[in-house]
C-alpha cells in the first residue's frame, strides 16, 4: 500500500484499497528488517516498563485466566513475575532503547489513549 496500489488480502482474498495512513503496533520499531523500509513515520509510546508490565498482567488472557481458573492464574503469574525479574525487564529495556533511537515522535504513554491520539494527529496534521 505504500506504493499507492491496492492489494489482495492473503486470507479473505478481497481487494484492499490504499489508504493515507496505516497504523500498526510494532514493539521493535524499525529494528525488524522486514518492516524497516515500510515505515514512513514511527511513533514511540514511552510507557514506564513497570506500568506496561502491570497493564499486561491486568489483561485477562489464556495465560492469565484470572477468575476463570485461579490456581492456574496464580501459578502463571508467579512464573511470569520470576521471568520478568530474571530476564524480562532487561529484554524490554533493550527493545525500548532500540525502538526509540530512530523514531520520529515520542509520546507519553501515561497519557490517556485519546490524548496520545490527539498528539499524534497534531503532528501528522491529519
More confident residue, 82 or 56: 82
pLDDT > 90 fraction of the chain, expressed in percent and rounded:
54
User: Looking at the predicted structure, is the pLDDT value of residue 58 above 80?
Assistant: yes
Query: What is residue 51's predicted lDDT score, i.e. its pLDDT?
Result: 96
State residue 1's pLDDT score.
Answer: 47
pLDDT tens digits for range 12-54: 999 988 887 778 888 888 888 888 888 889 999 999 999 999 9
Residue 2 has what pLDDT?
59
Residue 74 is predicted with a pLDDT of: 92
Long-range contacts of 107-111 (CB under 8 A, 24+ apart): 107/43, 107/44, 107/45, 107/46, 108/46, 109/45, 109/46, 109/47, 109/48, 109/51, 109/52, 110/47, 110/48, 110/51
Range 113-118 average pLDDT = 95
pLDDT, tens only, 60-112: 888 888 888 999 999 999 999 999 999 999 999 999 998 888 899 999 999 99
Amino acid at each position: 500500500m505504500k506504493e499507492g496500489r491496492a492489494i489482495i488480502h492473503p486470507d479473505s482474498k478481497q481487494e484492499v484499497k490504499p489508504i493515507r495512513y496505516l497504523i500498526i503496533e510494532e514493539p521493535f520499531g524499525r529494528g525488524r528488517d522486514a518492516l524497516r523500509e515500510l515505515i514512513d513515520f514511527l511513533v514511540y509510546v514511552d510507557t514506564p516498563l513497570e506500568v506496561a508490565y502491570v497493564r499486561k498482567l491486568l489483561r485477562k488472557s489464556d495465560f492469565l485466566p484470572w477468575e476463570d481458573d485461579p490456581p492456574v492464574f496464580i501459578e502463571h503469574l508467579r512464573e511470569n513475575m520470576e521471568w520478568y525479574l530474571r530476564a524480562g525487564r532487561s529484554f524490554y529495556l533493550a527493545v525500548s532503547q532500540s525502538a526509540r533511537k530512530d523514531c520520529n515522535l515520542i509520546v507519553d504513554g501515561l497519557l490517556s489513549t485519546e490524548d496520545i491520539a490527539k498528539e499524534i494527529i497534531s503532528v501528522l496534521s491529519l
